[in-house]
């Protein structure tokens, strides 16, 4: 059971002010640049985050693309992007628009998620051991058992669906709730805790896990991530303001906690 997030790197080059708008309107007013996938894709290339940054710096000013270009970029997005295609995008002279916002996915884009989660799981196991908790099996194992027993609890989207349908694999999993429930289950089943006592302990243990997760992220950054972000931070908009850097993710990592 895995809670996956998109592994593509998204950079939005916004033309002019951006009021709240529909997706179709946003497509007409922006250019979506998608790099090759960072991890595990057959289409992956050696294009680094640094080269992405260089691409941005050389493309701050450009005229809006024609509809044919937009269609080609959208096709590139759906196909995962190819280095040659991205590099061939023609940005003409003319300061009629500017980069305003650069957004990234987090898990398996800026850092390697499996290594980060593994490190946090180990930290949780050490914490439980230090608390003299009896743990015949790892919390991750209990999580799998609880999920199989009650998928609707951890995948609310499945309440009105067949939990065994193929769409189940694509539905978001409430991993925070699942992990807390698993810790609580360990303390009730194997350590004779009362329910409220186990709930309080699970909250404390989850805090330990979360902190360990964020602490592990810097050791598992994707290649050239820091230099890429540094390059983007140096970009200036035409109004003199800095380019905004943001995160779009369906996970619960908090980049503000990454030191």
pLDDT in tens, 44-89: 333 333 444 434 444 344 455 556 655 655 665 555 544 444 333 3
User: How much is the pLDDT for 88?
Assistant: 39
Domain that holds residue 55: 10-111+221-257
Is there a single domain that holds both residue 142 and residue 92? Answer: no
User: How much is the pLDDT for 139?
Assistant: 98
- Give me the CATH number covering residue 168: 1.20.120.1600
Is there a single domain that holds both residue 49 and residue 77? Answer: yes
Q: Which of 12-16, 17-21, 62-66, 205-209 has the lowest mean pLDDT?
A: 17-21
Res. 13: pLDDT tops 90 = no
Q: Could you tell me if residue 101 is left (phi over 0), alpha (psi between -120 and 50 degrees) or otherwise beta? A: beta
Query: In the chain, how many domains are there?
Result: 2
pLDDT in tens, 213-242: 999 999 999 988 999 998 888 888 888 888
User: How much is the pLDDT for 18?
Assistant: 30
DSSP of 56-99: HHTTSS-PPPPHHHHHHHHHHHHHT--HHHHHT----S--S---
Q: Give a yes or no: residue 2 inside a domain.
A: no
């Amino acid at each position: 059971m895995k809670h996956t997030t998109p592994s593509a790197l998204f950079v939005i080059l916004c033309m002019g002010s951006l009021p709240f708008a529909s997706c179709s309107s946003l497509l007409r007013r922006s250019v979506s640049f998608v790099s090759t996938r960072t991890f595990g894709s057959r289409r992956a290339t050696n294009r680094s985050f640094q080269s992405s940054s260089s691409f941005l710096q050389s493309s701050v000013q450009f005229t809006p693309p024609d509809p044919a270009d937009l269609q080609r970029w959208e096709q590139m997005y759906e196909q995962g992007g190819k280095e040659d295609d991205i590099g061939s995008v023609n940005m003409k002279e003319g300061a009629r628009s500017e980069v305003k916002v650069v957004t990234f996915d987090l898990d398996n884009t800026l850092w390697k998620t499996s290594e980060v989660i593994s490190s946090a799981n180990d930290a949780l196991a050490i914490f439980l051991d230090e608390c003299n908790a009896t743990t015949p099996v790892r919390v991750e194992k209990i999580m799998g058992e609880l999920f199989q027993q009650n998928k609707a609890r951890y995948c609310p989207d499945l309440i009105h669906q067949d939990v065994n349908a193929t769409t189940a694999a694509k539905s978001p999993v409430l991993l925070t709730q699942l992990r807390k429930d698993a810790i609580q289950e360990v303390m009730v089943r194997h350590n004779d805790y009362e329910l409220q006592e186990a709930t309080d302990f699970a909250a404390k243990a989850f805090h330990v896990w979360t902190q360990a997760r964020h602490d592990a992220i810097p050791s598992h950054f994707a290649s050239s991530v820091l230099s890429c972000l540094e390059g983007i931070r140096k970009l200036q908009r035409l109004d003199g303001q800095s380019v905004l850097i943001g995160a779009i993710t369906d996970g619960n990592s908090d980049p503000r906690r990454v030191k």
